[in-house]
Amino acid sequence: MFARNFMLFFCLVVVATKNHTIKFKNEVSHRHGKFIPFWNWGIGVVRFKNDECSAADGLSGTCYTKRQCSDIDGIASGGCASNIGVCCVIQRSCGSTSSYNNTYFVSSPSFKQTTGANKCIYTVPRCDSDICQIRIDFLSFSLMQPNAQGVCANDAFNVIGGAYEVPEICGENSGQHLYVNFNGADDIKLVINTNSDSTFGRSWRFKVTQIGCDCPTRAPNGCLQHYTGISGVVQSLNYGTTIAGQGTRQLANTNYGICVAPAAGYCGIQWSQGTASPNTFTISGDATMAPTSLSGDDCTTDFIVVANPYIAGTPANTDRFCGTQLPTLVSYSRPFVLYVVTDGNEANDVANSGFLLSYTQLACRNSICR
């Protein structure tokens, strides 16, 4: 469970009914409080913590009193805590700062497309001293595509102030996510720059979740992305099969890890190329030609890395793979990490899309992992 908002709020509400005055004290616990109602004709105490809740519009909110939600410029959307509280959706736009958990960073308050030049900065301070990390979910992410060399020359999204470098991102990334570690007490800034030379309609809605240092869902260091399923799909940033007006969708200057948390009883992982399109693995070379699988010393510019892989039960004797086709890889090296590396340009590469890969964790054959 993701870390909750730990801020304490206290309010006193006086309600007159007939000849009695009923006082309600709303006490929000620090971390482990439970919803405990108590009523009498004297003083009634209502306790509920600022838990995550599902808003009426499908977004995530935080359970507050109606007054608290109004005080922080939130949007009350449905009830929570047996309808004593409201599910408060917190939404912020350019120039805002918010330490509230589960805040949405949007392109505009009305979530309309924006055009022209803009430098949009959203600042995220830690909401508590034991917060170590944020997760950024790109519910919507639509910026201009990179240029023919894979560089975000027109529009760009950057993360500033985190403990580790995050690659510059542009294009279409809806559905992707990132984990960013705080660098001590420094704030994390999410920055979007757009170019004035284009009327392209940009839009974004990012959900920012703060994660405690002791939270079991915290991503390990070095993991820009982190998955926890027994099986699933991963894709490179700005992956897509439609390439119009530029030479690539693959982003330049990236170096990051995609991690899968090993489940109990699982000792290996299988990585395989997606079947939705013939272009689900085009990392280097000419994607318009016949598919070619390359590995080892042939992969020096753009490639993926899988530790100690097997191909059809035989050691591959290399950990680097590139080209325009990927053989199915099996690895028993834990933790399960797929590293992604691209250089500064797409020279000698044509129409590369990046990758869309399926992963499946493999059950242990014996009580001891290989």
Q: Residues, the chain, total?
A: 370
Same domain, 214 and 230: no
**Strand-by-strand arrangement of the 20-27 sheet:** 10-17, 20-27, 43-47, 36-38
Work out the mean pLDDT of the chain and round it to a whole number.
Answer: 85
Same domain, 111 and 195: yes
Q: Which of 250, 273, 179, 186 is nearest to 221 (CA)?
A: 179
Q: Average of pLDDT values for 356-365?
A: 96
pLDDT, tens digit, for every residue of 15-48?
222 232 222 233 233 333 334 343 433 445 567 8
The verdict on residue 157 lying in a domain is yes
Burial class (CB in 10 A: 0-12, 13-18, 19+), 253: middle
Cα–chain-centroid distance for residue 294?
A: 30
**119: which 2 tokens?**
């430098």
Same domain, 230 and 169: no
Position 183, amino acid: N
Query: Which of 178, 196, 218 is the C-terminal boundary of a domain?
Result: 218
Q: What is residue 110's three-state secondary structure?
A: coil
The answer to whether 251 touches 152, Cβ cutoff 8 Å, is yes
Boundaries of domain holding 161: 93-218
Q: For the domain that residue 327 is a member of, what is the CATH number?
A: 2.60.120.290
Residue 160 has pLDDT above 90, yes or no: yes
In this prediction the pTM is 0.84
Same domain, 80 and 101: no
Look at the block and give the residue holding tokens 């350019």.
94
Same domain, 370 and 270: yes
The verdict on residue 5 lying in a domain is no
Query: Which of 68, 92, 116 is the C-terminal boundary of a domain?
Result: 92
Query: Which of 218, 243, 264 is the C-terminal boundary of a domain?
Result: 218
Structure confidence at residue 10 as a pLDDT band (50, 70, 90): very low
The answer to whether 3 touches 215, Cβ cutoff 8 Å, is yes
Distance CA 258, CA 107 (A): 27
pLDDT, tens digit, for every residue of 90-112?
999 999 999 998 999 999 866 56
Choice between 115 and 275, residue whose per-residue pLDDT is larger? 275
Same domain, 53 and 157: no
Percent of the chain with pLDDT strictly greater than 70? 83
Same domain, 230 and 136: no
pLDDT, tens digit, for every residue of 198-217?
778 899 999 999 999 999 99
The answer to whether 363 touches 265, Cβ cutoff 8 Å, is yes
Pairing of strands 254-260, 223-227: parallel
Backbone angles phi and psi of 79, in degrees to 5: -100, 170
The answer to whether 163 touches 210, Cβ cutoff 8 Å, is no
The verdict on residue 77 lying in a domain is yes
pLDDT, tens digit, for every residue of 126-158?
999 999 999 999 999 999 999 989 999 999 999
**214: which 2 tokens?**
């002791």
Distance CA 32, CA 36 (A): 12
pLDDT, tens digit, for every residue of 254-284?
999 999 999 999 999 999 997 767 789 999 9
Number of domains making up the chain: 3
Same domain, 229 and 353: yes
Q: DSSP letter at 214?
A: T
Using CA atoms, how far residue 33 sits from 29, 37, 48, 80, 220, in Å, is 5, 12, 7, 15, 28
Pairing of strands 188-194, 156-160: antiparallel
The verdict on residue 1 lying in a domain is no
Same domain, 87 and 190: no
- pLDDT for the residue 103: 95
Q: Which of 198, 112, 188 is nearest to 157 (CA)?
A: 188
Q: DSSP letter at 263?
A: P
- pLDDT for the residue 112: 61
User: 335: cis peptide before it, omega within 30°?
Assistant: yes
